[in-house]
Amino acid sequence: MTNEIQILSLTKKKKKWIVETKEKKYSFHEDTVIKYYLFKDKSFTEEEWKQVLTYEAVADLMEKTLKFLSYQRRSTKEVQKFLSSKTDQPLFIEQVLMKIHQLGYLNDEKYAMEVLDYEKRHQKGPKVVFQKLQQKGLDETLINRVLLNYDDVTEQDILDEVLEKLVQKNQDQPVLKQKNIIMQKLLRDGFSQSLILEGLKKVSFLDKSANKLVLEIEKYQHRYQNLPNQERISKIIKHLMTKGYSYAQIREQLKQNEGE
């Protein structure tokens, strides 16, 4: 004879219902209670009760997933990863994914467009957009299709704005150092190298590093004060050239210092 599960009591506790059977107590969503007409003294076969528990497990996963999605839009891959951390049942994951797709909470193309718009507003290049979408598990074909909305003209316009700011910001550095700092920053921000190089050619760099060079020389003079003069000068020149100062610029300043 098949064992039956009988409901001994049903009590509301906050948003859940506590259902007690002879075997144990269960916590159910109201949807589950209504769908399966759970009430005191009602009995279920083991197979019927298994269906109730499955429905409740999916409902619980759905609630957790909607909360996860409420913080920000997510990619399908992110939601799959989240669900996998909550259950080891592929069928449950599949059901939840299908439901949230139907409700319009998951749309990878829309998600990708939002990331693209966000990164453009924050003056990042297309390579950063590609990397971020790839990290979120989006299909490469979809990413490339979305990036058609980030053409060379748009990239050049954004790059020129960023370039202008960076040039203003780094004028206290020698020109060679300015170019290196700007190049590395723009590459990190996802702009293409060819467009960066073209942009740098159009810029008129101002070198306001003279005062900084004086301070740098003073610092190294103090650091190497116990060394013989020629060795000290050699080390100072070596350090300052790695910071972008030209040999002629360094020698000229050292000469002025000696004449003081």
10 and 91 fall within a common domain: yes
CATH number, position 29: 1.10.10.10
178 and 242 fall within a common domain: no
Q: How many CB atoms lie within 10 A of CB 188?
A: 12
Total number of domains in the chain: 4
State phi, psi for 109 to the nearest 5 degrees.
-70, -45
64 and 27 fall within a common domain: yes
Q: How confident is the model at residue 1 (pLDDT cuts 50, 70, 90)?
A: very low
Residues near 145 by beta carbon (within 8 Å), at least 6 away in sequence: 109
**Cα-atom radius of gyration of the chain, to the nearest Å?**
33
State phi, psi for 44 to the nearest 5 degrees.
-135, 145
Q: What is the per-residue pLDDT across 135-170, written as a single tens digit (0 to 9) for each? A: 999 999 999 999 999 999 999 999 999 999 999 888
143 and 161 fall within a common domain: no
Q: What is the per-residue pLDDT across 36-85, written as a single tens digit (0 to 9) for each? A: 899 998 999 999 999 999 999 999 999 999 999 998 889 999 999 999 99
48 and 121 fall within a common domain: no
Confidence check: pLDDT of 258 > 80: no
Domain interval for residue 162: 152-201
CATH number, position 225: 1.10.10
Amino acid at 244: G
> Token match 């990036």: residue?
147
CB 120 within 8 A of CB 162: no
223 and 255 fall within a common domain: yes
User: For residue 20, what are the β-bridge partners?
Assistant: 9, 25
Among 179, 213, 209, 173, CA closest to 196 = 179
Q: What is the per-residue pLDDT across 85-123, written as a single tens digit (0 to 9) for each? A: 999 999 999 999 999 999 999 999 999 999 999 999 999
Q: How many CB atoms lie within 10 A of CB 159?
A: 21
Q: How confident is the model at residue 259 (pLDDT cuts 50, 70, 90)?
A: low
Which two tokens mark 51?
A: 């269906």
Among 153, 80, 73, 71, CA closest to 113 = 73
157 and 196 fall within a common domain: yes
Helix axes 229-242, 210-223, angle to 10 degrees: 140
216 and 228 fall within a common domain: yes
97 and 8 fall within a common domain: yes
